[in-house]
Amino acid sequence: MVYRSDIEALVVGGGLVGCLVARALAAHGLGVVLIERDPELGQRASTAAAGMLSPQMEAAEGLLAESSTRAEAMLAFCLAGRDWYPGLVDSLMRETGLEIEYRTRGTLVVATDSIRAEALATAAAAHAAADLSAEFVDGEQARRLEPALASRTEGGLLLPDDHQVDSVALVGAAARAVVDDPRIRLELNCQVVGIETAAGRVTGVRLERAGGAVDHESASLVVIAAGAWSENVAGLPRRLGVEPVKGQMVAVDGRAAGLTHTVGGAGVYCVPRGDGRVLIGATVERAGFDVSVDEAAIAGLVAAAAEYVPALGRTDRLSAWAGIRPGTSDELPIIGPDPDVEGLVYATGHYRNGILLAPITAAAVAALAGGSALPVDLTPFSPARLRGPRKDPRNG
């Protein structure tokens, strides 16, 4: 699939994924239109995120801990995605003059019981065998690294290459880069309601502008980067199975804890920021597109964090929020061309790892459009795996 430079590419959705895809397509010489229904770019999942770039923690704890081809493919993709970060942060800071806090102190996954500590020791050995930096530390060593850890800390898994980025600052810089890029035309307050096709090719999209006016944009390349709302675009030839997964988070005054690493525990993580806040996250809720915050969930997060870092249970809560992750039925993102409609490309379904994976996704989409070598094998993430019948679009 190679697109000529005079042909317009249209990106649906201006979250971090859409912004970076637009920027990468423009860098490949395409004229780009980026369409966002909100008045500002990046105000949904991407700014709600904790900003952890932590495939190894996920591999020790979450989906990626499964031993399956699916989990292996995802881990390899996430590890490759992590490598794009220092370059992305540098180039965005240089281009925009904005600061982006990018912390390289690493992640410490901790255990307060011996069974979990043993599991972390096993994970450390597995990571080392796979040539990844990882070290098991005992309780005393863990507390030397992070003195605020609970005295009953039994051990920790130190992951020096699992970094973190301030996602709000990152999205702000990505948005600024898009706004300042003369090769990108930005349409805000504008919702794509459906795609248009003819003879097996995409020809454009139908839009609804603020105030309800209906319009149309032509394009021979349309990239669906609408996050959790991707399923709502009418006319897609397949059911994507993208579904909203709510996450609530709370920021507390973390100065007394003085954390320097991201600290992971069972079902909770604590992410220190340079301004003294610690972000504690996150719930995983199937609650549609609701973004309300509830006291019980926030109190639960703070209590879970305090199990590992007691000072976080005794400090002020500063703010709390919720965001909607784009989940998929197999927990893999959907990236690549639609096999049935030429010119239709997906960049969605990044679930818990969309910050981590946004830059490599953008590079992959631009490589597809430009016919250059892909930075990664996209086969496991191909929309071709989604064969279910199309459901009616939902509201959200």
Ligand X SMILES: Cc1cc2nc3c(=O)[nH]c(=O)nc-3n(C[C@H](O)[C@H](O)[C@H](O)COP(=O)(O)OP(=O)(O)OC[C@H]3O[C@@H](n4cnc5c(N)ncnc54)[C@H](O)[C@@H]3O)c2cc1C
The residue count of the chain comes to 396
Q: Is-cis flag, bond preceding 251, omega within 30?
A: no
229 binds ligand X (CB under 6 A): yes
Q: Which of 325, 344, 370, 378 binds ligand X (CB under 6 A)?
A: 325
Q: Which helix (H) or strand (E) holds 307?
A: helix 295-308
Radius of gyration of the chain (CA): 21
Decide if 350 contacts 274 (C-beta within 8 A).
no
45 binds ligand X (CB under 6 A): yes
Q: Which of 34, 50, 134, 335 binds ligand X (CB under 6 A)?
A: 50
24 binds ligand X (CB under 6 A): no
Q: Which of 10, 11, 28, 51 binds ligand X (CB under 6 A)?
A: 51
Distance CA 283, CA 215 (A): 38
Q: Which is nearer to ligand X, 85 or 136 (CB)?
A: 85
Q: Which is nearer to ligand X, 117 or 271 (CB)?
A: 271
Rounded to the nearest whole angstrom, what is the least distance from the CB of residue 44 to ligand X in the complex? 3
Q: Which of 244, 281, 370, 383 binds ligand X (CB under 6 A)?
A: 281
Structure-block tokens of residue 178:
């898009």
* Interface stretch with ligand X, choices 175-183, 210-218, 288-296, 345-353 (CB under 6 A): 345-353
Q: Which of 24, 25, 52, 157 binds ligand X (CB under 6 A)?
A: 52
Q: Which of 9, 10, 11, 12 binds ligand X (CB under 6 A)?
A: 12
CB-count burial class (<10 Å; 0-12, 13-18, 19+) for 268: buried
252 binds ligand X (CB under 6 A): no
One-character DSSP codes across 66-103: S-SHHHHHHHHHHHHHHHTHHHHHHHHHHHH-----EE
Q: Which of 10, 14, 56, 311 binds ligand X (CB under 6 A)?
A: 14
Q: Which residues of 349-373 are buried (b: 16+ CB within 10 A; e: fewer)?
A: bbbbbbbbbbbbbbbbbbbbbbeee
- Give me the residues that bind ligand X (CB under 6 A), please: 12-18, 35-38, 44-46, 48-52, 191-192, 225-229, 233, 247, 249, 281-282, 323, 325-326, 348, 350-356
